[in-house]
Structure 1
Amino acid sequence: MRKTCLDMVYQLAKKNKKIIFVGSDLGAGVLNEFKKKISSRFFMEGISEQYITGMTAGLAKEGFIPYFNTIATFITRRNFEQNIIDLGLHNLPVRLIGNGGGLVYAPLGPTHQAIEDIAIMRTIPNMRIIAPCDANEMKKLMPQTVNIKGPLYIRLARGGDKIVTNKVKKIQFGKSILLGNPKDILFVTTGITTQECLTVANRLKLEGIKAGVLHNHTLKPFDEKKLLKFSKITKLIVTVEEHLVNGGLGSLVLEVLNSGKSKIINNVLRIGINNAFVKKYGSQQDLLNYCGISEKKIYAKVIKRFNENT
C-alpha cells in the first residue's frame, strides 16, 4: 500500500506541476525515479518533522500541493501543534502521508505505534482523514486527493494487504462501502480491520448469521448518512479499529448514532486497543492478537455478544 501511494504521488506530479514531494529521513531509494526526473520538486529532509510541516505550509501558501511522508507517529503526535496552527488554521492543501498506522511498527515499541493518530487528527478543524484498506483502493483514492480542499492525513498500513475492493464499482472520497448483508450484524471498519471483519463475516454466514462490513476509507468527513441508514436494519453494530478505543472509529460511530438519535446506540460493541501502552513486542500480527483485534479474537467477542442479545 505504501509503495502504491508513493508511486501515485509521482504519477500525479508528472501531470500536475504544483505537486511537490517532501520526505523526512526516508530510506535510500524511496521515489528514486521522482528524484531523477523531477528533482526540482523532490525534497528529502532530515529528522525535522515539525520544521517540515512549516515548510510545506509555506509551499502551500505559494500555490503548491505538497505531499509530506514520514512515520505516522512523527507526522501526527510529534507535529500536533504544527498541524493545527500551520495547516488546520490556514486550511492549507498539504497531504500528510503517515507510514505505519496502527501497530505496523510493532517491533519498535510504543514510540513508533500510531494507535492514537486518528483521535489526534480528527480533532483538528479542516483536517481530512483517509485510511484505505488495500492497494487497489489507495490507487483509486490518490487522484482524488489532489483537489481536496485543506489538509489531509493519509494513514498507511503495512503493505501487501489482501485486495478486497477489486469488485467495488465506485470508490469515492467521503463515501463508505458496504460489503455483505448486515441484517444481523453490521461491522464498521477502517483500514486493514476491513479484511479481518470480512473473514469473520464469512465465518458467521456459515452459522446462519448475516453480517455485513461497512468499510470507511474516509474517516473525516465521515459518511454519517450511510451509517444511520444501515443502523436501522441491523441488530448489532461492531466497530473494529487498529487504534485506541478512545477517540477513534468507535467513538466516532457513537457520536453519529447519538446525533441521529439512533435506537441501536446501546447495542454497539467497540473492539480496539484498550487505553494503555502496548507492552508486548513482536510482529504486527502478534500484537493484533494480543490486543484482541485478530480474526479469531474478533469472532469470539462478536459471537458472545450476539448470543447474549438473542
Structure 2
Amino acid sequence: MRNTFINQLLASAKEDKSILLITGDLGYGVVDHFADELPEQFLNFGINEQSMMGAAAGLASKGFKPFVYSIGNFPTFRCLEQIRNDVCHMNLDVCIVALGAGFSYGTAGYSHHLVEDISALSALPNLNIYSPADTLEVELVFPTILANCGPRYLRLGKGGEGRITEKFKQVASGISILSGSSKLAVVTTGNIISEVILALKDFSPEFRPTVISVSDFNSLKGYIPEIEFDRIITVEEHLLRGGFGSIILELLSNSNCNLTRIGISSLSSEINGSQQFLRRNYGLDSVAITQLVRQEFAAIEC
C-alpha cells in the first residue's frame, strides 16, 4: 500500500507544485524516489513531530497541500494537540498519513501498534478518515483524498497486501462489496480484510456472508443506515472502544439489525510478535472469524 500511495502522490505532485511530502525521520527506502525527483517538495523534519504538524498547518494556510507521512503512532498521538488545534479546528488542507495500521509493526512493540487512532481522531472536527484494505483501494480512494480539502487522515498497512478486493464491486465512494447472503454481512476496514477473506473461502455460496469493505469513513453516513441485513459482524484490527465498530453501532442505533463486533478488548504492552501472532492472540484471525460467522448463521436459522 505504501508504495502505491507514494507513487500516486509523486505523479500528482509533478503536476501540482503545491503538493508537499513532509516526513518525520523518514527518507530511507520508499520515499527516496519522491525526494530524489522532487527535492523542492520534500521536507524531512526529523524526530520533531509536533513542529512538523504545526509547520504543515502553516504551509496549508498559505496555499500548499502538505501530506504528513510517518510510521504508526508518531504522526498521530505524538502530535495530537497540533492535529486538533492547528489542523482540525482551523479546517486546513492537511493530509496525515500513518503507516503501519493495526499490528503491521507488531514486533516493534506497543509503541508501534496503531490500534487506538480511530478512537482518538474520529472525534475531531472536520476530519475525514480513510482506511483502505489493499493497493486497489488505495488507487480507488486516492483521487477522493486529493480532491477533498480540509483535514484528512489516511491509515495504511506496512506493505505486501496486494489486490485483495479485486473481485469486489464498488457501490459507493469508498465502499466495496463482495456479494453473499442477504441475511448476514461482515463489515470491515483496513487490511484485516485478508483474514475475513481467508475465513470465508470454504463457505458454500448460500452460507457465505456479504463482505463490505469501507475505505472512506465519510461515506458511511449515507450508506450504512440503508443496509438491510438481519445481522452484521464488524471486524477491525483496532480497539473496540471508539473504533470502527462503534461508528457502525452508532449509525445503526435506530435499526433492528443485530450487531456483533470483533476487535481488541484491551491492548497489553507485554504481548509482542508478528502481525499474525498478535491477530491470533487477540482473536482477530481467520479461525475466530469463521467460528463467529457460523454462530451467526446458526442464530439466523433459529
Who is 2:207 aligned against? 209
**SS class of match (1:263):** coil
Q: Secondary structure at the match of 2:207?
A: coil
Residue deviations 1:66-90 (CA, integer Å, cap 9, x gap): 0110012111111111111010011
| Structure 1 residue ranges without an equivalent (≥5) | none
Q: Which residue of 2 aligns with 1:257?
A: 252
Write the deviation string for residues 211-234 of structure 1: whole angstroms up to 9, x where unpaired. Answer: 101110012x1423332222x2x2
2:237 aligned partner: 242
1:282 paired with 2:296, answer no
C-alpha displacement of 1:121: 1.1
Matched, 1:113 2:113: yes
**TM superposition shift of 1:129:** 0.6
Query: Is 1:225 matched up with 2:222?
Result: yes
Conservation of the 8 A alpha-carbon contact between 1:116 and 1:248? yes
Distance change (3 Å), C-alpha of 1:225 and 1:167: same
C-alpha contact (below 8 Å) 2:195/2:286 kept by paired residues: yes
| 3-state SS in 1 of match to 2:268 | coil
Pairwise CA distance, 1:22: 0.6
Could you list the per-position Cα deviations for residues 233-278 of structure 1 after superposition, in whole angstroms to 9, with x for gaps in the alignment? x2221000000011111100110001xx1011xx211000112325
1:272 matched to 2:263: yes
Task: Say whether the 8 Å CA contact 2:233–2:261 is kept in structure 1.
Answer: yes
Match of 1:33 in 2: 33
Q: Structure 2 regions of 5+ residues with no counterpart?
A: none
Q: Secondary structure at 2:252's aligned position in 1?
A: helix
User: For 2:19 and 2:138, how far apart are their aligned partners in 1?
Assistant: 18
| AA aligned opposite 2:223 | K
Give the drift of 1:114. Answer: 0.8
Secondary structure of 1:46's counterpart equals coil
Note if contact 2:169-2:176 (Cα within 8 Å) is conserved in structure 1: no
Where does 1:95-106 land on structure 2 (aligned, <5 Å)? Answer: 95-106=95-106
Equivalences for residues 18-57 of structure 1 within 5 A: 18-57=18-57
Give 1:64-213 correspondences, 5 Å limit.
64-168=64-168, 170=170, 173=173, 175-205=174-204, 208-213=206-211
Identity of aligned residues (%): 32
Question: Given residue 207 of structure 2, which amino acid in structure 1 is its aligned partner?
Answer: I
Shift of 1:168: 4.8
Backbone CA RMSD of aligned residues: 1.8
- Identify if the C-alpha distance between structure 1 residues 172 and 58 changes in structure 2 by more than 3 Å, giving closer, same or farther: farther
Q: Distance in 1 between matches of 2:141 and 2:221?
A: 19
Partners of 1:129 and 1:154 within 8 A in 2 = yes
For residues 163 and 33 of structure 2, the distance between their equivalents in structure 1, rounded to whole angstroms, comes to: 26
Q: State the 1:29 CA deviation.
A: 3.7
In 2, distance between residues paired with 1:28 and 1:86?
Answer: 28
CA contact (8 A) 1:183 1:210 kept: no
Distance 1:94 1:171, change over 3 A: farther
- Residues 170 and 70 of structure 1: is their aligned pair in 2 closer, same or farther, counting only changes over 3 Å? same
The answer to whether the Cα contact below 8 Å between 1:96 and 1:152 also exists between their aligned partners in 2 is yes
Q: What is the CA deviation profile of residues 119-175 of structure 1, one whole-angstrom value per residue up to 9, with x for unaligned ones?
A: 1111111011101111122123223222212111110112111413334565864x4
1:12 aligned partner: 12
Amino acid at match of 2:213: H
| 2:171 and 2:177 in contact (8 A); partners too | no
Distance 1:169 1:249 in 2: 21
Take 1:34 and 1:164, find their aligned partners in 2: how far apart are those partners? 26
